[in-house]
Amino acid sequence: MSLFSNKVVVVTGGSEGIGKALVDAFLALGAKVATCGRNYDKLYQIQSLHAGKPLLIHTTDVSKEQECKNFIDTVLKNFGHIDILINNAGISMRALFADVSIDALRKVMDVNFWGSVYCTKFALASIEKQRGTIVSISSVAGFRGLPGRTGYSASKFALNGWMEALRTELLDSGVNVLWVSPGFTASNIRNAALDSKGNPQGESPMDEGAMMSSEACAQHIIDAIGKRKRTVVLSAQGKQTVILNKLFPSLADKLVRKFFYKNNTLIK
Ligand SMILES: NC(=O)c1ccc[n+]([C@@H]2O[C@H](COP(=O)([O-])OP(=O)(O)OC[C@H]3O[C@@H](n4cnc5c(N)ncnc54)[C@H](OP(=O)(O)O)[C@@H]3O)[C@@H](O)[C@H]2O)c1
């Protein structure tokens, strides 16, 4: 028996990367899992891999309020309640603010921030009854703005502020509210990241092989949920960035710019 046996765990964006690793790990721990994404074929593939296990898949675009409501209602109808909600679905972007379309910025905010708000709103009453857990997957970009990622950084800062306020509101409710900030983690996020026109980049200049694996990241998230932590910044580079930015913000400006630029051009 694990801590998560028979718990109902909802993971948004479970067809790729960190979300998929969370789905795999929670099923292995004996949880009942529900997940969503926009692409049915990717979700169906995962369901086939876990045939016979309690995995519910649902085609949902989390940037659409009504689709989030349908997803959460379907989970409640099938599993009866929700113990843990993980707001994981997210997209990134790579384009300078001067070039990026307003639509691309809005899309990132709609998925990363509003998608988390909608799912939490519809799941909250059940999670409160269960004295469960609400998790949002944030980013180091939610503590330190990153060049070329203005919309992404804004969405993760918004997520952190909303989670902190919600945590305070729920302090005496028995619900734990936790936000986790992974560092660079190998996944599809950089390929799917929007370009200046709001289309997927399709490729990334970064070395995915040198990053934390999605499976290791998922394990850190599961440990943090088990320990009912408040907030976790994964990766040494992420922790250094957060501390440096707090103590020496002007130096952080220069170092962050140096990391993302070469010859005055955004490279990462
Ligand atoms: N990987 C990193 O380096 C890193 C670092 C810090 C934070 N994070 C955060 O970790 C989370 C997971 O990212 P990842 O790296 O695992 O990305 P990923 O490999 O690109 O996976 C993203 C998942 O979200 C789903 N998704 C995207 N847009 C959606 C939408 N509108 N509605 C429903 N589902 C949607 C995708 O499925 P569909 O495309 O089928 O919808 C996919 O299952 C994100 O919140 C991200 O910001 C990642």
pLDDT, tens only, 165-209? 999 999 999 999 999 999 999 999 999 999 999 999 998 888 899
Q: Name the residue of 10, 18, 47, 143 to mutate for ligand 1: max ligand atoms within 8 A of Cβ.
A: 18
Using 50, 70 and 90 to split pLDDT, how confident is the model at 257?
very high
Protein residue whose Cα sits closest to atom 17 of ligand 1: 189
Q: Is the CB of 85 under 6 A from ligand 1?
A: no
Q: How far apart are CA 155 and CA 144, in angstroms?
A: 12
pLDDT at 204: 84
138 pLDDT higher than 90:
yes
User: Chain-wide mean pLDDT for the chain?
Assistant: 97
Q: Is the CB of 136 under 6 A from ligand 1?
A: no
List pLDDT tens digits, range 37-91.
999 999 999 999 999 999 999 999 999 999 999 999 999 999 999 999 999 999 9
Pairing of strands 133-137, 84-87: parallel
Average pLDDT over residues 135-151: 98
**What six digits make up the tokens of 54?**
């309690």
268 pLDDT higher than 90:
no
Q: Give the catalytic positions in this structure.
A: 152
As a residue count, the chain comes to 268
Distance of CA 9 to the CA centre of its chain: 15
Q: How far apart are CA 221 and CA 180, in angstroms?
A: 7
Ligand 1 centroid to Cα of residue 240, in Å, is 24
The class level of CATH for 8-235 reads alpha beta
Output the pTM of the full model.
0.98
Ligand 1 centroid to Cα of residue 121, in Å, is 20
Atom number of ligand 1 nearest to Cα 112: 45
Q: Is the CB of 119 under 6 A from ligand 1?
A: no
Average pLDDT over residues 129-140: 98
Using 50, 70 and 90 to split pLDDT, how confident is the model at 151?
very high
- As beta bridge partners, residue 117 has none
Residue where the block lists tokens 């009942």: 32
Q: How far apart are CA 56 and CA 34, in angstroms?
A: 4
Distance of CA 257 to the CA centre of its chain: 25
Average pLDDT over residues 101-125: 98
Q: Name the residue of 189, 204, 208 to mutate for ligand 1: max ligand atoms within 8 A of Cβ.
A: 189
| Selection from 85, 84, 81, 105 nearest residue 93 by Cα | 105
Residue extents of the structural domains in the chain: 8-235
